[in-house]
């Protein structure tokens, strides 16, 4: 079984913010594969089903971004899922809007949600689906305010395309592994 966790913050005030693009990807996967994240437990909303013939658990931690590790570790522990069988999707302000990068293993890159997961798992050996949201135009706004703002109307088309490609990348990863998925999607913007 694979655990696919999309990171974000719970509550309607955060629903369409840049920081919640990980939740948006889990929702997109759920729509595409008929998996509803309607069950609650372990600090998450979750649903199980199949993607590309493999059993998956879709997870939306409800522990807020900085506590994502608690929810991911709870699900992984309950189902005996090792770090190598976890995919984590999250916003990345170091990538331009619409850019997608897959990677297996590594550090947190300064992302507090990923840092929390590494700390709780005791390992960084999971697949990351980094979803580019860019950075604010002005320094007055600050990154913390920027990630908690909703996508602009102009950004919505870019985000829709990004989520479609990210869902495709996860399907390819499940079918063929990280190398083919990275080769097919990391260089495409």
Active site positions, annotated:
19
Q: Residues with Cβ < 8 Å from 140, sequence gap 6 or more?
A: none
Distance, CA of 21 to chain centre: 7
C-alpha–C-alpha distance, residues 117 and 66, integer Å: 9
End-to-end alpha carbon distance in the chain: 30
CA-derived radius of gyration, the chain: 15
Q: What share of the chain is helix, strand, coil (3-state, %, to 5)?
A: 45, 25, 35
Q: Is the dihedral of CA 122, 126, 130, 131 positive or negative?
A: negative
SS3 call for 18: helix
Tokens of 170: 């996860």
């Amino acid at each position: 079984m694979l655990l696919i966790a999309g990171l974000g913050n719970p509550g309607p005030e955060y629903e369409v913010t840049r920081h919640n693009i990980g939740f948006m990807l889990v929702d997109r996967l759920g729509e595409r594969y008929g998996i509803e994240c309607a069950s609650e437990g372990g600090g998450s909303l979750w649903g199980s089903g199949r993607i590309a013939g493999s059993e998956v658990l879709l997870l939306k931690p409800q522990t807020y971004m900085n506590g994502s590790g608690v929810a991911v570790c709870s699900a992984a522990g309950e189902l005996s899922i090792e770090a190598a069988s976890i995919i984590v999707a999250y916003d990345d302000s170091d990538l331009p809007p619409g850019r997608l990068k897959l990677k297996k293993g590594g550090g947190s890159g300064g992302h507090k949600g990923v840092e929390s997961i590494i700390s709780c798992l005791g390992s960084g050996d999971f697949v990351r689906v980094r979803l580019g949201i860019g950075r604010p135009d002005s320094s007055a706004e600050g990154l913390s305010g920027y990630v908690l703002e909703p996508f602009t109307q102009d950004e919505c088309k870019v985000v829709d395309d990004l989520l479609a490609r990210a869902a495709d990348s996860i399907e390819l990863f499940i079918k063929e592994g990280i190398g083919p998925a990275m080769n097919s999607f990391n260089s495409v913007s």
